[in-house]
Amino acid sequence: MSILFSQELLIYTALVLLVPLYCLYSRVICRSGNPALVLPTNWPILHMFPSFLANLHNLHEYLTLVLAGSGHNFRAHGPPGTGLRFFVTCDPTNVRHIFTTNYTNFPKGAEFADIFDIVGGSLFTIDGEPSHQQRAKVKGALSNPRMAATMAACCCDKVENGLLPFFRRMASTGTPFDVQELMSRFMFDLAAMPFFGVDPGLLSSEMLQDMLHMDAAVALDTFMEVGFSLLMTPSSYWKLMRWLNIGPERKLKVARMVLREFAAEMMERRKMNTCFVGNEDEQEDGDILSCFLNDPDYADDDLLRAMIIGYMFAARDTVGTTLTWIFYKLAQNPNIVSNIRKELSPIASRKAAVGVDAMLIFEPKETRSLVYLKAVLYETLRLYPAAPLECKTVVADDIMPSGHEVHAGDTIIISIHSMGRMEGVWGEDCLHYKPDRWLSVGGNNMRYVPSHKFLAFNSGPRMCLGKDIAIMQMKTVIASTLWNFDVEVMDGQTIQPKQACIQQMKNGLIVKLKKREM
């Protein structure tokens, strides 16, 4: 016992003394313009842990640099006793093996579930048969024609009566605003409406004092940001912090309380609404939560709360974040904006806007066949995937298609962010924003790209169930916005991704709008 204690003391002392020096060293090297010098170094005892810590503030770009120089795969280990054994990859053949060919050997794992315990039991954390059953239930709800119509109607209503009126006010006064915060509010409302049958109203100025819903939105961000850092931290460290209620775990404790209160309120409001409606069949088709409330397999309130919060993670963050990056890239590429408007023009010519301030709304049935707009969405997701990393745990020893061995207990990090920036995967122009790469010859159809090469919507048995809904929502927002307004990104901003499970912009995105002259 004393020998083990001495080893741990030695490791912790080395971390305290050497990691700050290495962090300072790497920052200086980065500013000197020679990033090759901060590639992972396999130090005695500490292995690559200092390198990871030193670059945690810019991990996505760091992993891209390392993966590009190491053939799309590399290993990283922490000090003995920390349990940090990583295999990092962005190799499409490995991804296919992990997500499809041998996916049962690569679950998210118990540690991932412990970190994101607030959504424990939901699709966010579970694997195997429980995941299969829950996915079938959710898929059935989402594929219901009445549900699909409800979600499309909610999106159009929120764009027409919430988003575009706000844009018109901002354009008329020339007032800059943070489009990322706005998209977060918009998607919070849009996610809640078809799931709970309740509109939180975060997009409405009169609802700005609704602190429960605002706090819930902040708590979602906290979990995505803090959870990301914990994935790279020895479990013994963050479990000790949780026990002592200090550091990031203190923030997570507050976030858990807020999110549980929000989920409980949504369940209560939904149950009360059900009591006042006589036709139960209409209720089951009216929102997603109803089909779970009426199912005895989901009678556990803790499980329902976890599912509610997990749904809000998926529905709010992924689409809202992607919309922000789309606005940013389109503001830099006016030629692409012109191409989108050209594709929208035949639809617009069949619609009539009534009144001086009237604006055109492009409905899902009208934008469904728009190929170029879809290519713009995919190109944005290629370079700025909403979820930049996927983490898996190895159950049994295996050999990757790349020839690398992985061992039981290893953590596999799939860098989706890096995959979109690999010349060996996407060609010499991989860093260029080119929607045309997604189009077939002639530009009339989308080119086939396998999901293990483009992981924005996951792959294999865990393919995103809300993919079509997300595309519908993004098409409606982008088409309706670009046809009615010009978007200008304000100068002087530092645009960089937040280091979190969801790749939001660290400092938001301040834009200004101008109403288009038709």
Which residues does the annotation place in the binding site for heme? 464
**Tokens, residue 423:** 């010349």
The angle formed by the CA atoms of residues 410, 414 and 418, to the nearest 5 degrees, is 140
**Looking at the DSSP assignment, which residues form a beta bridge with residue 406?**
398
Contacts of 458 (CB under 8 A, 6+ apart): 99, 390, 451, 464
Residue 166's nearest CA partner among 181, 153, 151 is 181
- Residue list, annotated binding site: 464
Three-state SS sequence of 21-66: HHHHHHHHHHHCCCHHHHCCCCECCCECHHHHHHCHHHHHHHHHHH
> CA-CA distance, 384 to 55, in Å (whole number)?
19
**Tokens, residue 424:** 């060996």
CA distances from 4 to 13, 45, 69, 80 (A): 14, 14, 37, 11
CB count within 10 Å of CB 42 equals 11
> CA-CA distance, 48 to 87, in Å (whole number)?
12
> CA-CA distance, 316 to 390, in Å (whole number)?
18
The bridge status of strand 411-415 relative to strand 85-89 is parallel
> CA-CA distance, 121 to 134, in Å (whole number)?
10
